[in-house]
């Protein structure tokens, strides 16, 4: 008895063509690509997010910024360092633009409103 179990997946034609193109560009078989993607997702666990805080710090000695993540249950992790002011300003403006787009998409009009799954309201 084999220790491997075959699995199948149904894709829309456009998605299948994209999958084949990506695999071809990367020189990998479709089955290998799918297996690696599945194993990567399984290794990540069922929860893809953890609780924590972003920390942007200014360093006057180098006139630069760093971006760290401080998980609630762990050691602080550096994401990026030696970021210049223009990068931080551009990132900040872009984040605000995307938040506004999200709010517009959700129809958010009240600052204290939060996203609510439609299935809960059924309206």
Could you read off the pLDDT of 10-39 as tens digits, one per residue?
A: 999 999 999 999 999 999 999 999 999 999
Could you read off the pLDDT of 49-81 as tens digits, one per residue?
A: 778 999 999 999 999 999 999 989 888 999 999
In a domain, 5, yes or no: no
Cα 12 to Cα 110: distance, rounded to the nearest angstrom: 39
**Backbone torsions φ then ψ of 43, nearest 5 degrees:** -65, -30
pTM above 0.85, yes or no: no
113: confidence class by pLDDT, cuts 50, 70, 90: confident
In a domain, 22, yes or no: yes
In a domain, 85, yes or no: yes
For the record, the structure tokens of 7 come out as 């699995």
How high is the pLDDT of residue 46? 67
Starting at the edge strand that comes first in sequence, how are the strands of the sheet with 77-83 ordered? 52-59, 64-71, 77-83
In a domain, 91, yes or no: yes
How high is the pLDDT of residue 112? 87
56 closest CA partner among 83, 94, 96: 83
- Structural domains counted in the chain: 2
In a domain, 3, yes or no: no
47: confidence class by pLDDT, cuts 50, 70, 90: low
User: Could you tell me the residue range of the domain that residue 95 belongs to?
Assistant: 52-107
Upper half-sphere CA count for residue 50 (Cβ side, 13 Å): 14
């Amino acid at each position: 008895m084999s220790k491997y179990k075959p699995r199948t997946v149904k894709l829309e034609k456009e998605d299948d063509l994209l999958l084949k193109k990506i695999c071809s560009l990367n020189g990998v078989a479709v089955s290998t690509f799918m297996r690696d993607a599945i194993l990567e997702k399984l290794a990540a666990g069922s929860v893809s997010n953890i609780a924590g805080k972003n920390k942007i710090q200014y360093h006057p000695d180098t006139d630069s910024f760093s971006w760290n993540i401080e998980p609630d249950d762990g050691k602080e992790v550096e994401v990026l360092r030696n970021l210049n002011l223009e990068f931080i300003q551009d990132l900040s403006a872009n984040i605000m633009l995307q938040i506004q787009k999200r709010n517009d998409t959700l129809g958010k009009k009240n600052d204290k409103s939060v996203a609510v799954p439609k299935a809960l309201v059924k309206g």
